[in-house]
Structure 1
């Protein structure tokens, strides 16, 4: 009953919410362009210049009728425009680059002055109280000179015409003079000038207040002295984006059903309730993301996958603690209270470290990374609220009803009461040398291969252009000949699914080149083309930002874990994190899998997952250190590490499985476009399970064992616990000598 009620509520709220969600280009198709903004006079660009250019682009986008466009200022001199759902890329590009321009001309269309002579326009009124536009003159000397020149012409020609976006091949005073001042006319005003003047100009016409305000706004836009240089662009076929969205959604639904089933099998009633709360968790995350105007893309879905893994992990940690308590002979209420209490520290520290990573990524990342970070932050708070707070309240209610007092095994599956569980025994220290040798061999040879052969860098990390052509029966040889005919240097041509051919060019295609390629293949094959362009500037920024993000995140993790645990724990966790990233990069190099901007999101997901898992193992080591009398020899330390790894191994395995389920579903059901992303996650999850469950503990043992000797008492291991520092030997008081 609970299940069906939640499903119905989930459907009633979620489906309409999903319909109103903003989708990124990778899920909906569309057009994206990044502009470099510069002043036309070579002077330094100001924030006012940038904001004025932003207003122009916004107005141009509005003219396209695109629903929910994204226009963002990036840094001090860039503006990114995303138009999801746009199909006519050529028209969109033309409209965007059409920066408004005001000019002053005579009746023969000769240029008298450009927009540089005015500082702006504002709403005003004529002598009869009708709406008008006042032009504020900036260069009074030049304005006086131009108006004097016009005033000296013969009657009928002594007219100064003010144009908005004058097109020499289309507009002329002879043709448009009669419509000056009217709606939709490029001719704003045609006034007789009887003598030179340098005061502000009043433009009157047959328009109302709103039209006058809009016209003033347009003139202000036209008076800006900036130019736009396109430094990267991307367009995604709408049909392709829709296919990705549908397949991703289906894979996600199947993955969620499998996760809930897995949780129910593992933990019975407690697992089932956790699964139901996982649906509520999903609803809350999507609702908050929608409320803040988030754009759902592949990178934000990556964060959601990580968030689901962390949400499930919080339930697994708590339920495993409850199972341990029941097996030790505690009653269900006692076990429930103890399990929740003891699991809190692990959950808190794991989520805080991941939150630190998310905040840093949001500050330093580019747009897709910011989307990842935003979603990740939402999932962290949702985990703490739904999967920790709400889940405990609901399960606590059922515990208080005493329904399960006589059958606690129906509440959560566990072994015989009073008979402590036999954990999977892992002698991590015994196999330490073997693990290190195998790991080092892989990393050394892998790094050599990586350095020699490099990564298969996608368009995001190299300058050039990527062209995807979709047409019936198109062959690689045909396409190679076509690009040779067009005069472009082809790096590679690959045949892909659905009659698509993927082409890499060394050339950074400009607007004319893009139109040339689009028109050529459309005319010859009736083909659909997608063209992505990245310049060296963008490539360098992406690499720099990704590098800074990871380094600063690692430093922040070291600081936090050093405060909460100890410096040796921090170093071990970061070493494990580096291991996971290198494993994925080496595998991508070996299998020649393309590395693009979404790869960064996958790496960030792996970092978050690895830290989350490692913290849980370290928390158990910290707890076992606290409960031990003292650690005086290496043998004592071995026992602690082996015990901690054995106790948390099952949890690490379960968490990895539940996180891998949706990833595997995406690999099987998803498209080739998101396959590299899903493969990176899969490789990273496997590497992260190994490093966090075994390798991190071994590294910590190596660091701490240097302080101890095999059989002699030396100083005791000092570790920070929740409330105190423990295991410090007490100093013996010296007895006073009698004189």
Structure 2
């Protein structure tokens, strides 16, 4: 029964591989180009914003997006007063922004600006493209309330100045017909038309002016989509060109293929046949992850791909833990089948514990992260689920199948790379005295942390626009120097810019203020025309900046609290304290290195820090699990520490290497967009590996030793008073 169930599950997963091949996976803007904007929504009359207002705003924006002809737009309500819009393939922010954020409130007024009629007299969706008597583009309007329209036009025809002025988004105390000299010029005025009324009428009407065909089409789309019931304030925006996104996708996929291929090679080289089965498991893991992601309608982004590759490292860790445990049992003279049974049984708790602690981090990221970070967290959660299912269940049963044939019973080296060397000499890692040497590592890392702290306090971190607010540009061209970029910005009126080189073709520019859309277009066009460059731009307001900083601090604290609770529950409070101190070390170590080398800190950096926290606690929990197991045998604490670290050292190094492989591949071949993320991951993975060995474990030893000493301190005993005849 179990065998049949396993076989059915395996066939289903393989079959699922074909579905994403024929069904397009949704790619994010950073992979296919497009325009993203975040609006803060407020009521028109400064009253409390209601959920009905948000829903009405959402519907109006949806209609306007539909008029743009965008395929698969993403419109999301975030929190209680924000709307995020992602439009793939749209790279003209100025035009799209006008259509999306314009209130589009049509009003009919006299020449003294008194309101005569609102748009309620018109038929819903009744605006259309027409031409006037001279063949010029005009907007036709269908009248719904004929009686009202007749009464108003009848009254106006008798006015000294018998004109009806049609306004779009008339603003009190700002707009006035008396000071308007360009009525009909959409670029410079909200006044659309001033029509002379010579007689009362109740038929359809035309708005005429010096409109182009494109302007008439825009007006028709705005009027038909309805007026916005709220005000929209732009908080942040980002533009990615299609070629830039496609290039990022190609680079990231190349890095992924290289990383996975090397990992498979390492597994097969070290674990032979079992490594081959684990490699097949990796492919099944990838299929399952993509299928689940496709099934839930996930949007694949660069951070999401980075999360997938990190998940591969974690999936490999599950196999390495089991295989190393099997080797230990083979050393203890167990048969291959018995070693397999005991090895998988003993490694299961470590695998579950380490993945749950990483899941805690992923949940925190998903709840508190912004759009790109949520995508990263979603992929991480799917990866954790797939790791448990494929690596623990499917790979285990595949190996068990082959063991039942008895073919490998005397071929242990070929099966799992185990060589039964007859020697009494302990392996290198088990001969090392970790407790004796940990102080050297603590001194070295403390020096780096101190330098980083001093630089951070005195000079600050190199914060991106995400945290400082302002506008940024990523300029990519074959031949362009930093000197030419600075000269171009000076020519465009910007003397104070922050410029940094990403790679040999890409440069990053920060401007400390939010630019108007027209200025962003001017800068982009300048570099496109002069240097044939692709330009990606973005802007972030101070409101978003403050929220990002708050969420970064809150998410880190919540992740720490969640980990403390879980580790305390599964182990002891001493383990939790030691683990958290190691995590704080890892996080601050990365921050220190970024401060020392002035590497830019952006939004996705927070995801990197929390992922490092997840990986580090994963690594630390595996070590703690072994310490707990050895400590149950009532050995001396120093012997427990040294033995536990000795037998887990190979696994820690191998897991770190296999996790670093995709990160290094992304650094060398991946997109410049996630370069800083991968730098943070590279530094953090190394810090996490040695902190679980030389920081977390010694801290647990110190805490536990002190507690034992206190429990053994003899209390002063008062001698019994002897009284003759009573107790003597």
Q: Same fold (TM over 0.5)?
A: yes
2:420 match: secondary structure: coil
- Say yes or no: does 1:608 pair with 2:624: no
Question: What is the RMSD computed on CA atoms of the aligned residues?
Answer: 4.0
Q: Deviations over 1:682-725 (max 9, x none)?
A: 11111111011332111110111112349x9669xxxxxxxxxx
Q: Deviations over 1:348-393 (max 9, x none)?
A: 1111111111112211111111111111110111011001011111
Q: Which runs of 5+ in 1 are unaligned?
A: 1-5, 124-131, 138-142, 188-214, 716-737
- Say yes or no: does 1:272 pair with 2:272: no
Q: Which runs of 5+ in 2 are unaligned?
A: 1-9, 127-140, 171-182, 187-191, 209-218, 715-726
Corresponding position of 2:569: 563
C-alpha spacing 1:401/1:473, structure 2 compared with 1 (3 Å):
closer
1:507 match: secondary structure: coil
- Say yes or no: does 1:17 pair with 2:21: yes
Corresponding position of 1:113: 117
Q: Deviations over 1:214-233 (max 9, x none)?
A: x9998795244312121211
Counterpart-to-counterpart distance in 2, 1:281 and 1:528 = 36
1:35 to partner: Cα distance: 1.1
After superposition, residues 184-203 of structure 1 pair within 5 angstroms as none
Q: 1:381 aligns with which of 365, 385, 404?
A: 385
Corresponding position of 2:245: 241
Contact 2:27 2:301 in 1 (8 A): yes
1:28 to partner: Cα distance: 2.2
Corresponding position of 2:581: 575
Contact 1:35 1:231 in 2 (8 A): yes
Contact 1:17 1:287 in 2 (8 A): no
TM-score normalized with structure 2 length: 0.81
- Say yes or no: does 1:392 pair with 2:396: yes
1:601 to partner: Cα distance: 2.2
- Say yes or no: does 1:508 pair with 2:509: no
C-alpha spacing 1:382/1:175, structure 2 compared with 1 (3 Å):
farther
Corresponding position of 1:646: 646
Q: Deviations over 1:155-211 (max 9, x none)?
A: 9999999999999447659799999879xx989xxxxxxxxxxxxxxxxxxxxxxxx
Corresponding position of 2:85: 81
Corresponding position of 1:129: none
1:534 to partner: Cα distance: 1.1
Corresponding position of 1:263: 267
Q: Deviations over 1:279-327 (max 9, x none)?
A: 1001110111111111111221232122111111110111111111111
Contact 1:273 1:391 in 2 (8 A): yes
- Say yes or no: does 1:65 pair with 2:80: no
After superposition, residues 492-571 of structure 1 pair within 5 angstroms as 492-494=498-500, 497=503, 500-521=506-527, 528-571=534-577
Contact 1:73 1:79 in 2 (8 A): yes
1:415 to partner: Cα distance: 3.0
Corresponding position of 2:336: 332
1:654 to partner: Cα distance: 0.7
Corresponding position of 2:371: 367
Contact 2:28 2:300 in 1 (8 A): yes
1:272 to partner: Cα distance: 0.8
After superposition, residues 449-460 of structure 1 pair within 5 angstroms as 449-460=455-466
TM-score normalized with structure 1 length: 0.80
Corresponding position of 1:295: 299
Counterpart-to-counterpart distance in 1, 2:389 and 2:425 = 31
Structure with the larger RCO, 1 or 2 (CA within 8 Å, 6+ apart):
2
1:144 to partner: Cα distance: 11
1:404 to partner: Cα distance: 1.4
Counterpart-to-counterpart distance in 2, 1:296 and 1:186 = 45
Counterpart-to-counterpart distance in 2, 1:154 and 1:533 = 49
Corresponding position of 2:213: none
Counterpart-to-counterpart distance in 1, 2:72 and 2:628 = 50
Corresponding position of 1:673: 673
1:616 to partner: Cα distance: 0.3
Counterpart-to-counterpart distance in 2, 1:372 and 1:50 = 27
Contact 1:70 1:82 in 2 (8 A): yes
C-alpha spacing 1:180/1:245, structure 2 compared with 1 (3 Å):
farther
2:275 match: secondary structure: helix
Counterpart-to-counterpart distance in 1, 2:289 and 2:357 = 19
Contact 2:578 2:696 in 1 (8 A): yes
2:707 match: secondary structure: coil
1:594 match: secondary structure: coil
Q: Which is further off, 296-305 or 162-171? A: 162-171
Q: 2:449 aligns with which of 443, 451, 454?
A: 443
Counterpart-to-counterpart distance in 1, 2:122 and 2:567 = 56
2:497 match: secondary structure: strand
C-alpha spacing 1:470/1:263, structure 2 compared with 1 (3 Å):
closer
- Say yes or no: does 1:320 pair with 2:324: yes
1:707 match: secondary structure: helix
C-alpha spacing 1:473/1:256, structure 2 compared with 1 (3 Å):
closer
1:667 to partner: Cα distance: 1.5
1:446 match: secondary structure: helix
Corresponding position of 1:463: 469
